């Protein structure tokens, strides 16, 4: 493979007859340039193995060919600022190059249907929050957009769409991931960007002014209390604000919104009818851990939640508060003590190697202990009113006049949810 990331314009690799619906031609070069920009960024993030806590700027320097050079050159600093924030301080260098060949999507297989009217564009990621959002969007003539970050999420998204929200007025679009001949780097930090970019062509073509990303407000705030716990900022309101400012500068009249920004995970679980619990358990993935970690070697087929990441525990907190049945975790939710975790590892061990089982148990014990400590700090800082010292909050990030009250109410609710969770932990010690 050459040093060039893509041999062709990325939009040509991601869109075609199988996912363009009734779009026969698409000529908005600004939107196509934006998609290509995000593709270059995300694939660089996905396919640049590295230790993230050093200066990788030389490895994260990207040259992106665009038709609208002056427009995109004007957002260079904005894009670098966004990426630095989303990737926990990593420095990026984005260089735009003028491309003379005009970008354009033209289908080989022409669609004879007239342009259909849709009311909404909604990201369908295969997560629990996304599932709840899809339930709300079911009767809204909605385009559900999935980007294939991995096959599990695509399968989950397909199951949710086919089983819960499919009707004659909705459509589900899957944008396939391009697998480069390079070693992958597991990261979730920029994934929201590729979902947004994948949705933008459809929102623009059908004249829809908002792209909806459904993510609970606690995960979106995701405060960082210590260096050992990495947090994601993919749907933080500051992130969405930065993205919307970039779109505005590019004269793309579309906004990215999060309708769940003031809801806790427990709030969102309440939205989903109990008769859908089977789909929550079998067709949603909340985990942010890499399933390839060696200490997960004993995982059961179909078991996709680690139980020792921020997202998994937040899911557990919400499910416990609602008294709902949950998915199976790689580390069962009721295991806390090292000796109990070690006994569990031995019981599921495939190779019956005591030394490896012990290492896996220690890893899971330490991760669980760190995670519980993270949420204890969260609780204490809400309790003593210092939580706001750890949150990225500014009036300009929110369009609602009552945003402060909404966040305060959400935090108070989350405190009650944590109290119930900690009570259950005490019973299991």
- What pLDDT digit, counting tens, does each position of 163-213 carry? 999 999 999 999 999 999 888 888 878 999 999 999 999 999 999 999 999
Residue 87 and residue 41 in contact, taking contact as beta carbons nearer than 8 Å: no
Distance separating alpha carbons of residues 416 and 411, to the nearest angstrom: 9
Asked whether residue 280 is domain-assigned, the answer is no
Residue 47 and residue 89 in contact, taking contact as beta carbons nearer than 8 Å: no
Asked whether residue 36 is domain-assigned, the answer is yes
Statement: residue 37 has pLDDT above 90 = yes
Picking from 286, 276, 281, the residue whose alpha carbon sits closest to that of residue 327 is 281
**When comparing pLDDT for 230 and 61, which is higher?**
61
Tell me what pLDDT residue 124 has.
96
Cα 353 to chain centroid distance, Å, stands at 36
123 shares a domain with 40: yes
Taking the CA atoms of residue 115, residue 120, residue 126 and residue 129 in that order, the dihedral angle to the nearest 10 degrees is -170
Picking from 138, 129, 311, the residue whose alpha carbon sits closest to that of residue 214 is 129
Residues shown for the chain = 429
Read off the pLDDT of residues 364-419 as tens digits, 9 standing for 90 and up: 999 999 999 999 999 999 999 999 999 999 999 999 999 999 999 999 999 999 99
Read off the pLDDT of residues 155-174 as tens digits, 9 standing for 90 and up: 999 999 999 999 999 999 99
Tell me what pLDDT residue 88 has.
86
**Overall average pLDDT of the 38-65 stretch:** 93
Portion of the chain with pLDDT greater than 90, in percent? 72
**Overall average pLDDT of the 257-270 stretch:** 97
315 shares a domain with 205: no
Which segment of 70-74, 143-147, 158-162, 284-288 scores lowest on mean pLDDT? 284-288
295 shares a domain with 226: no
Partners of 172 in the β-ladder: 144
Asked whether residue 274 is domain-assigned, the answer is no
Picking from 224, 156, 148, the residue whose alpha carbon sits closest to that of residue 381 is 224
Tell me what pLDDT residue 429 has.
59
302 shares a domain with 245: no
Read off the pLDDT of residues 289-339 as tens digits, 9 standing for 90 and up: 765 566 566 666 556 788 888 999 999 999 999 999 888 888 888 899 999
Centre a 10 Å sphere on the Cβ of residue 424 and count the other Cβ atoms it contains: 15
Radius of gyration of the chain (CA): 22
Tell me what pLDDT residue 303 has.
64
290 shares a domain with 253: no
- Secondary structure (DSSP) of 262-285: T--HHHHHHHS-GGGHHHHHHH--
CB-neighbour burial class of residue 155 (10 A; exposed 0-12, middle 13-18, buried 19+): middle
143 shares a domain with 14: yes
Residue 341 and residue 364 in contact, taking contact as beta carbons nearer than 8 Å: yes
Distance separating alpha carbons of residues 171 and 143, to the nearest angstrom: 5
Tell me what pLDDT residue 287 has.
84
Asked whether residue 3 is domain-assigned, the answer is no
Asked whether residue 281 is domain-assigned, the answer is no
Distance separating alpha carbons of residues 194 and 43, to the nearest angstrom: 9
Tell me what pLDDT residue 259 has.
97
For residue 188, what are the domain limits? 10-257
Listed in sequence order, the DSSP H helices in 6-123 are 10-14, 29-46, 69-73, 76-86
Read off the pLDDT of residues 125-148 as tens digits, 9 standing for 90 and up: 989 999 999 999 999 999 999 999
Q: Is the pTM of this model over 0.85?
A: yes
**Overall average pLDDT of the 235-263 stretch:** 97
**Overall average pLDDT of the 351-365 stretch:** 89
224 shares a domain with 78: yes
328 shares a domain with 184: no
217 shares a domain with 178: yes
Cα 283 to chain centroid distance, Å, stands at 16
296 shares a domain with 248: no
**Given pLDDT bands bounded at 50, 70 and 90, which one contains residue 2?**
very low
C-alpha to C-alpha distances, 338 to 241, 247, 357, 363, 366, nearest whole angstrom: 43, 49, 12, 10, 9
Cα 209 to chain centroid distance, Å, stands at 21
Asked whether residue 120 is domain-assigned, the answer is yes
Distance separating alpha carbons of residues 228 and 373, to the nearest angstrom: 11
303 shares a domain with 249: no
Taking the CA atoms of residue 398, residue 401, residue 407 and residue 410 in that order, the dihedral angle to the nearest 10 degrees is -120
Torsional sign, CA 70, 71, 72, 73:
positive
Domain boundary among 215, 237, 257: 257
Q: What is the mean pLDDT of the chain?
A: 91
Asked whether residue 368 is domain-assigned, the answer is yes
Asked whether residue 141 is domain-assigned, the answer is yes
314 shares a domain with 232: no
* Backbone angles phi and psi of 323, in degrees to 5: 55, 45
**Given pLDDT bands bounded at 50, 70 and 90, which one contains residue 21?**
very high
Tell me what pLDDT residue 81 has.
97
CB crowding 301-326: b at 16 or more within 10 Å, else e: eebbbbbbbbbbbbbbbbbbbbebeb
Tell me what pLDDT residue 388 has.
96
**Given pLDDT bands bounded at 50, 70 and 90, which one contains residue 229?**
low
- Number of helices followed by number of strands (H, E) in the chain: 15, 9
Place of tokens 């294939």: 148
Partners of 305 in the β-ladder: 329
**Given pLDDT bands bounded at 50, 70 and 90, which one contains residue 44?**
very high
How many folded domains does the chain comprise? 2
């Amino acid at each position: 493979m050459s040093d060039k990331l893509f041999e062709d314009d990325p939009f040509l690799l991601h869109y075609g007859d199988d996912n363009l619906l009734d779009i026969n031609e698409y000529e908005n070069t600004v939107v196509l340039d934006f998609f290509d920009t995000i593709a270059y960024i995300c694939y660089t993030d996905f396919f640049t193995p590295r230790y993230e806590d050093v200066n990788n700027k030389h490895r994260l320097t990207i040259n992106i060919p665009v038709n609208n050079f002056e427009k995109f050159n004007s957002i260079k600093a904005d894009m670098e600022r966004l990426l630095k924030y989303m990737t926990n301080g990593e420095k990026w260098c984005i260089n735009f190059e003028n491309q003379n060949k005009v970008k354009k999507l033209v289908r080989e297989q022409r669609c004879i249907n007239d342009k259909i009217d849709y009311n909404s564009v909604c990201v369908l990621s295969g997560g629990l929050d996304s599932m709840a959002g899809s339930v709300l969007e079911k009767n809204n003539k909605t385009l559900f957009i999935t980007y294939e970050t991995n096959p599990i999420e695509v399968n989950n998204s397909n199951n949710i769409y086919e089983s819960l929200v499919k009707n004659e007025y909705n459509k589900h679009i899957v944008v396939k991931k391009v697998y480069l001949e390079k070693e992958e780097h597991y990261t979730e930090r920029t994934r929201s960007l590729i979902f947004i970019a994948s949705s933008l062509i459809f929102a623009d073509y059908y004249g829809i002014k908002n792209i909806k990303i459904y993510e609970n407000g606690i995960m979106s705030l995701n405060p960082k209390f210590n260096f050992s716990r990495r947090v994601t900022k993919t749907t933080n309101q500051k992130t969405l604000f930065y993205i919307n400012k970039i779109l505005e500068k590019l004269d793309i009249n579309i906004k990215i919104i999060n309708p769940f920004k003031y809801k806790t995970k427990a709030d969102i679980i309440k939205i989903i009818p109990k008769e859908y619990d089977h789909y929550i358990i079998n067709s949603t993935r909340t985990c942010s851990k890499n399933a390839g970690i060696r200490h997960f070697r004993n995982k059961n087929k179909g078991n996709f939640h680690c139980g020792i990441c921020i997202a998994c525990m937040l899911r557990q907190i919400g499910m416990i508060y609602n008294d709902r049945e949950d998915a199976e975790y790689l580390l069962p939710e009721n295991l806390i003590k090292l000796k109990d975790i070690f006994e569990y590892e031995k019981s599921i061990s495939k190779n019956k190697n005591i030394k490896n089982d012990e290492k896996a148990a220690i890893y899971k014990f330490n991760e669980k202990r760190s995670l519980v400590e993270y949420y204890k700090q969260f609780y204490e800082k809400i309790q003593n009113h210092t939580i706001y010292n750890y949150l990225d909050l500014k009036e300009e990030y929110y369009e609602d006049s009552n945003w402060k009250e909404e966040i305060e109410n959400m935090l108070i609710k989350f405190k009650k949810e944590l109290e119930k969770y900690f009570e259950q932990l005490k019973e299991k010690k």
